[in-house]
Structure 1
C-alpha cells in the first residue's frame, strides 16, 4: 500500500456482489471511492499524520 501522487493513475480491482444489471456497449459505470465504513469502522479523514487534521 502506498499513497498516490496527485494526477497519478492506478489500476485497482474491486470485488462486487452479484447484481442483475446489464451494461450495454457504450454504457459507463461510475465508481465512488470512500475512505470509511462508518459506524462499522472509525472515520478515516484521509490524512497521513495528525498535524494535518482539521479536528485538532
Structure 2
C-alpha cells in the first residue's frame, strides 16, 4: 500500500502503515478503539514476524 511512494522500508513497513492508517492518511481505512489488528510479514531473507495488537 505504501511502497509506490515510500519505497521499500523493510522492517519499518508495518509500523509505518499502522501510523499512517491511525492518523487517517490512507483513504478508505480506519482504526477504531477496541479493534484487534494482526500484523504479519515475511521478508526475502525468510524473516518472519507476527504481532496481534488491540487498539486501546
Which TM class, normalised by the smaller chain length? Answer: under 0.3
Q: Which has the higher helix share?
A: 2
Q: Which has the higher strand share?
A: 2
Higher relative contact order (CA 8 A, sep 6+): 2
